[in-house]
């Protein structure tokens, strides 16, 4: 735990300092706060590491580089008097005295997130390929044709590159997967802050969001999953526009940067890029908006596309139709299509044959999908689906409460929801959009005045702490599966080594002999059947080895190719 707290502090300094300097350079005229700097910093750190990974492994050296860069940023901030440290301490002291319930809520949130963060990764996909992808990024710069070795390694999420930089494996002799827990902690603190500031209806919406978001992603907090971060970023951005009433002119940098970066985390977030375009065209004239689009595209998208091409041979993976190159490491088109079909079919009906699922009509697969969906998600889904009807009815009676920003943002949110439903309707992929559509209905249906009673504040406090206690109980149950509370030494400094978990799973691997170009033999591992295709953190390992996979050079960094 102590190690996690120290890492939280250092990583937070990196994100905030870089975010602050970026805002200073690009949008000094608008007001941003600690949370805005943090999330903008995440996006730019991700972009920096994507560029870094083209030439070097994203290992401890990349972490030290970011740390040094953040110190330079802090020096610049201090030199330019962009922040008053004394004033910050005074505000903090005042906050502690004036808002004891807020401080207590933050401490409880910190506690249950910390408990959840140090459990061993629980998500199956993390054992299947997330951790493996992170290990490859730690050990090598981007590897040509790595998707030939394991098709999931072609899913080029910037989150895996970022995670590799912060695992600290070479120092600790074990890997820390702390990025998800830190980011969700900051997001939850932000929701709590908004709840205490706005009170009334918005406070209830914040609590509603916190409860359901944690319930959906509780297992992602300790697992290095690529699903959580884009959903947090989308939530943060759309919450500001839909609930807090921000417009497209204020904090335009936030509105531009987050959607661009989200694409590099999860390609399915592409509909929200419309927010960036709208913000740019509000801020600049047509020509300058196009220039700015090209600039941000170069910063965020171009390095990610280059990584795509090196890993898979394709600009976008797994889309075999977009094929502009003919590198020898290019994944065969039929293999790419097979992977794409599995992604789409698994999200609709897992454990079924992909061809069978994709041949079903919408009504056929939807009925099976619906039966497999739990009651809580069904209810949230129904409200999200019929939200246009509900909001249209409200609009007829309360037209004055709707503005262009809300209507535009809601429309983009609903477009993303429909895109998710038709393509890959797994709730973990776009749960934020479903929750956002639900709270869009709540904010318009209910009257604000009903929530400003003299006892409302006390009721909010009760609901808030009840929710936090429920979350703490859930986290403690998971924590108790890995640790005994009275054995402080087992978790006080650092969490259980992931290798301990692998041993508990009785994981076994087959050693397959391959040869580099210089005829030197090398071992490639493949999991035995009892592993359920999981390679855990074993490198190099793949459940999809076959005789057609060839090594391109005399080192793994030279990559893999597929040759029949």
Q: Are 479 and 116 in contact (CB under 8 A)?
A: yes
What burial class does residue 276 get, using C-beta atoms within 10 Å of its C-beta: 0-12 exposed, 13-18 middle, 19+ buried?
A: buried
Q: What are 58's two structure tokens?
A: 């994203």
Token pair in block for residue 295: 């600039």
Kindly give, in sequence order, each residue whose CB lies less than 8 Å from that of residue 50, ignoring residues fewer than 6 positions away: 158, 161, 264, 303, 304, 307
Contact (Cβ atoms closer than 8 angstroms) between residue 82 and residue 24: yes
All residues at 6 or more sequence positions from 104 whose CB lies less than 8 Å from its CB, including other chains: 465
d(CA 227, CA 229): 6
CB 269 within 8 A of CB 262: yes
Residue 236 contacts residue 444 (beta carbons within 8 Å)? no
pLDDT of residue 15: 97
Pairing assessment for the beta strands 521-527 and 509-515 based on DSSP bridges: antiparallel
Taking the C-alpha atoms of residue 282 and residue 167, their distance in angstroms, rounded to an integer, is 40
The whole-angstrom separation of Cα 457 and Cα 450 is 12
For residues 484 and 363, what is the distance between their CA atoms, to the nearest angstrom?
Answer: 48
Name the band, by pLDDT with cuts 50, 70 and 90, for residue 373.
Answer: very high
CA quadruple 494, 498, 503, 508: dihedral, nearest 10: -160
Torsion from C-alpha of 327, 331, 332, 336, nearest 10 degrees: -140
Q: Is the pLDDT of residue 453 over 70?
A: no
Average pLDDT estimate for 157-185: 94
Q: Residue 216: pLDDT above 80?
A: yes
Number of CB atoms found within 10 A of residue 100's CB: 10
**DSSP letter (8 states) at residue 128:** I
Residue 192 clears pLDDT 90, i.e. is over it? yes
β-pairing verdict for 560-562 and 549-551? antiparallel
Name the pLDDT band for 449 (thresholds 50, 70, 90).
low
Among all chains, which residue has been given the structure tokens 């699903």?
Answer: 227
Confidence of residue 87 (pLDDT cuts 50, 70, 90): low
pLDDT for residue 190: 96
What H or E segment, with its residue span, contains residue 280?
helix 273-283
Cα–Cα distance for residue pair 151/291, rounded to 1 Å: 36
Average pLDDT, integer, range 97-124: 91
**pLDDT tens digits along 496-528:** 888 888 887 888 899 988 887 777 889 999 998
pLDDT at 563: 82
Pairwise pLDDT comparison (365 vs 98), residue with the higher score: 365
**Distance (Å, rounded) from C-alpha 175 to C-alpha 139?**
13
Helix (H, G, I), strand (E, B) or coil at 241: helix
The stretch 3-28 carries a mean pLDDT of: 92
- What are 466's two structure tokens? 């009840």
pLDDT of residue 308: 96
CB 340 within 8 A of CB 328: no
Q: What mean pLDDT comes out for the span 478-494?
A: 81
Give me the pLDDT at residue 452, please. Answer: 60
Give the Cα separation of 40 and 253 in Å (integer).
8
Say what the pLDDT of residue 451 is.
58
Number of other CB atoms surrounding residue 219 within 10 Å: 18
pLDDT mean across residues, the chain: 91
Span 142-150, average pLDDT: 94
Please compute the mean of the pLDDT values over residues 273-301 and round it to a whole number: 91
Q: According to the model, what pLDDT value does residue 67 have?
A: 96
Per-residue pLDDT at 360 exceeds 60: yes
> Is the pLDDT score of 553 beyond 80?
yes
pLDDT single digits (tens) 30-57: 788 899 999 999 999 999 999 999 999 9
Residue 450 has pLDDT above 60, yes or no: no
Contact 158, 50 (CB under 8 A): yes
pLDDT of residue 240: 95
**Residue pair 44/162 in contact by the 8 Å Cβ criterion:** no
**Which position has the token pair 């505000």?**
91
Long-range contacts (CB closer than 8 Å, 24 or more residues apart) made by 14-17: 14/41, 14/45, 14/66, 14/67, 14/69, 14/70, 15/39, 15/41, 15/42, 15/45, 16/41, 17/41, 17/70, 17/71, 17/73, 17/74, 17/77
pLDDT band at 92 (very low <50, low <70, confident <90, very high): confident
| pLDDT one-digit tens code per residue, 292-332 | 999 999 999 999 999 999 999 999 998 988 888 889 999 99
Q: Crossing angle, helix 2-26 and helix 179-198, to 10 degrees?
A: 70
Angle between helices 200-217 and 179-198 (to 10 degrees): 160
First to last CA, the chain: 50
**Cβ atoms within 10 A of the Cβ of 454, count?**
6
Nearest CA-CA partner of 166 in 50, 1, 10, 2 = 10
3-state secondary structure of 560: strand
Place of tokens 């932000």: 190
Q: Which of 307-311, 326-330, 396-400, 538-542 has the highest mean pLDDT?
A: 307-311
């Amino acid at each position: 735990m102590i190690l996690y707290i120290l890492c939280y502090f250092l990583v937070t300094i990196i994100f905030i300092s870089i975010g602050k300097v970026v805002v200073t350079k690009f949008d000094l005229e608008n007001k941003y706060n600690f949370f805005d700097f943090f999330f903008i910093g995440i996006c730019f750190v991700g972009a920096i590491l994507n560029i870094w990974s083209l030439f070097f492994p994203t290992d401890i050296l990349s972490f030290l580089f970011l740390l040094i860069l953040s110190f330079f940023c802090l020096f610049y901030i201090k030199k330019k008097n962009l922040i008053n440290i004394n004033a910050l301490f005074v505000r903090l002291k005042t906050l502690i005295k004036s808002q004891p319930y807020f401080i207590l809520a933050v401490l409880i949130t910190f506690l249950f997130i910390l408990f959840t963060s140090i459990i061993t990764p629980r998500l199956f996909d993390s054992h299947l390929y997330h951790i493996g992808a992170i290990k490859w990024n730690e050990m090598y710069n981007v590897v040509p044709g790595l998707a030939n070795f394991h098709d999931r390694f072609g899913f080029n999420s910037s989150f895996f590159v970022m995670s590799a930089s912060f695992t600290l494996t070479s120092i600790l002799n074990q890997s820390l997967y702390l990025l998800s827990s830190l980011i969700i902690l900051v997001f939850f603190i932000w929701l709590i802050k908004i709840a205490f500031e706005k009170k009334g209806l918005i406070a209830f919406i914040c609590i509603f969001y916190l409860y359901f978001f944690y319930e959906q992603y509780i297992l992602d907090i300790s697992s290095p999953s690529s699903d959580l971060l884009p959903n947090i970023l989308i939530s943060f951005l759309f919450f500001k526009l839909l609930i807090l009433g921000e417009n497209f002119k204020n904090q335009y940098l936030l509105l531009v940067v987050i959607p661009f970066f989200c694409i590099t985390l999860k390609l399915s977030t592409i509909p929200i890029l419309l927010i960036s375009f709208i913000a740019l065209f509000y801020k600049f004239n047509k020509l300058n908006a196009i220039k700015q689009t090209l600039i941000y595209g170069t910063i965020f998208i171009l390095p990610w596309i280059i990584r795509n091409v090196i890993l898979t041979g394709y600009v976008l993976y797994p889309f075999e139709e977009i094929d502009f190159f003919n590198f020898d490491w290019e994944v065969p088109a039929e293999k790419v299509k097979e992977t794409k079909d599995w992604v789409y079919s698994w999200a609709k009906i897992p454990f079924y044959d992909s061809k069978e699922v994709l041949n079903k009509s919408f009504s056929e697969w939807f009925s099976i999908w619906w039966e497999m969906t739990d009651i809580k998600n069904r209810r949230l889904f129904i409200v999200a689906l019929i939200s246009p009807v509900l909001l249209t009815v409200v609009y007829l009676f309360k037209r004055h409460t709707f503005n262009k920003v809300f209507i535009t943002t809601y429309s983009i949110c609903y477009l993303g929801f429909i895109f998710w439903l038709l393509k890959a309707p797994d709730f973990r992929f776009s749960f934020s959009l479903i929750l956002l559509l639900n709270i869009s209905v709540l904010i318009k249906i209910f009257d604000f005045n009903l929530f400003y009673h003299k006892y409302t504040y006390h009721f909010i406090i009760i609901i808030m702490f009840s929710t936090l206690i429920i979350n703490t109980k859930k986290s403690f149950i998971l924590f108790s599966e890995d640790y005994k509370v009275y054995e402080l030494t087992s978790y006080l400094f650092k969490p259980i080594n992931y290798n301990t978990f692998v041993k508990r799973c009785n994981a076994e691997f087959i050693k397959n002999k391959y040869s580099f170009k210089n005829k030197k033999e090398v071992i490639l591992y493949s999991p035995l059947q009892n592993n359920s295709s999981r390679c855990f953190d074993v490198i190099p390992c793949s459940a999809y080895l076959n005789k057609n996979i060839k090594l391109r050079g005399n080192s793994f960094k030279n990559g893999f190719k597929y040759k029949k």
